[in-house]
Amino acid sequence: MMSAKHLGVMIAFAGLILLTACGQKQAANPLAASASTAVPGKITLGENSLQLKQLKVETVVATEVPASSVVAPGKLEVNPNRVSHVVLPVAGRVVSVLAKLGDSVDQGAAVLRIESSDSDAAVGAYAQAQAGVAQAKTALLKASADLDRARDLFDHNAIAKKEVLNDESILAQSQSSLDQAEAAERQALRRLQLLGLKPGEYGQQLTVTAPVSGKVLEVTVVPGEYRNDLSASLMTIADLNSVWAVSEVPETDIRFIRMGEPLDVQLSAYPGETFRAKVTRIADTVDPQTRTVKVSAELRNPQGRLRPEMYGQIQHVGAMAKLPVIPAGAVIQNEGSSMVYREISAGVFEPVTITVGDRVGDRIVVRSGISAGDRIVTEGVLLLRAS
């Protein structure tokens, strides 16, 4: 029977053989030293790693690019500051429509003619006002003559002083009455002028004129209609020498746009052309449904090529700045974020989350995350990620 001492020696010997065998097996696999090593947040590749040889690492270079750029769909609209609506000055029947849809009209040009009982009333009111002035003048002349006679009698002690004072009061009242009558006459004449009527002529048709120069965009009346709503628009005229480009800009980009800044407008109707606009209005509120802010910019349109309702896009380009520009192939997506692999040292890489800007061809502007001089993986990114 084996003693306890001999048994212990044999167990120790067996363990030594096992350790030696393991060491020989590990030494027989030299690739183990060159495989990927897992380090939290980093990837390390041995210098003889096949993966490392398949990677391309480049130094990041900064380039002059716009510090911000906003592109959003948009369309052209009538400049609300240059549009006017034609309304009737009085109730009446439309006799003729002198301006048709699409016509160009000048300010003051006749666009409608109407018949109205108010025209005769206006002519009669002016005639009555004229008669009132004539009557007031006659009363004033009489009051003045009465006062002169009273003063003469008073100077000869023929009447009392109170008689003179009474005539002076009558003269003052007569002058006040004349002033009021002349004011009423001026008002009645102004009414005639506003209606385009001549004094003393009854049965005249009223002529409605264009309040502004521009294009007739809408006509909502036909001859023969009777209209008594003096606030209803019968015709819309707009000056199209200036139009607005209107766009819904995402709220995340609105901080880049300022009042008075230039915008570039591209239209589907004119491929390859860019029109310069100026920001004239930025809405004070965000649309709760689309999370956008309405931006309006004014464009000059002297040749009339730009028409309301044309579709296109607006682009706002910020000031130039030096920012990193890298190959698009260097960027991968990771849970909704953009990421690159930056080389820390030979064979050691770390993932870095970046904020990307515009894409120009096969290169992407980086707004944050890496800097000029950093070295990043530009080819073999997916191989590195898989490791």
Q: What is the rounded end-to-end Cα distance, in angstroms, of the chain?
A: 57
Look up residue 364 and give its DSSP letter: E
pLDDT for 98 equals: 96
Question: Is the per-residue pLDDT at 111 higher than 90?
Answer: yes
Question: 3-class DSSP state for residue 362?
Answer: coil
**Highest mean pLDDT (candidates 36-40, 202-206, 225-229):** 225-229
pLDDT for 36 equals: 37
Question: Is the per-residue pLDDT at 178 higher than 70?
Answer: yes
Higher pLDDT residue, 219 or 381? 219
Residues contacting 315, CB < 8 A, separation 6+ = 69, 70, 71, 263, 264, 265, 266
59-68, 293-302, 330-339: least confident range? 59-68
Report the C-alpha gap between 315 and 66 in whole angstroms: 12
As a whole-number percent, the residues of the chain with pLDDT over 90 amount to 65
pLDDT for 334 equals: 85
As a whole-number percent, the residues of the chain with pLDDT over 70 amount to 88
Higher pLDDT residue, 111 or 65? 111
pLDDT for 323 equals: 87
202 pLDDT tier (thresholds 50, 70, 90): confident
24 pLDDT tier (thresholds 50, 70, 90): very low
Q: Give me the chain's average pLDDT, please.
A: 86
pLDDT for 122 equals: 92
Question: Is the per-residue pLDDT at 245 higher than 60?
Answer: yes
Higher pLDDT residue, 64 or 171? 171
67 pLDDT tier (thresholds 50, 70, 90): low
Report the C-alpha gap between 384 and 380 in whole angstroms: 6
Report the C-alpha gap between 201 and 198 in whole angstroms: 6
- Please give the structure tokens belonging to residue 210: 């264009």
Q: What's the whole-number mean pLDDT along residues 30-51?
A: 60
pLDDT for 97 equals: 96
Q: Tell me the backbone φ, ψ of residue 26, rounded to 5 degrees.
A: -65, -40
Tens-place pLDDT, residues 285-320:
999 999 999 999 999 999 999 999 999 999 987 767
Tens-place pLDDT, residues 338-387:
999 999 999 899 999 999 888 877 889 898 999 999 999 999 888 888 86
DSSP of 96-163, one letter per residue? Answer: EE-S-TT-EE-TT-EEEEEE-HHHHHHHHHHHHHHHHHHHHHHHHHHHHHHHHHHHHHHHTTSS-HHH
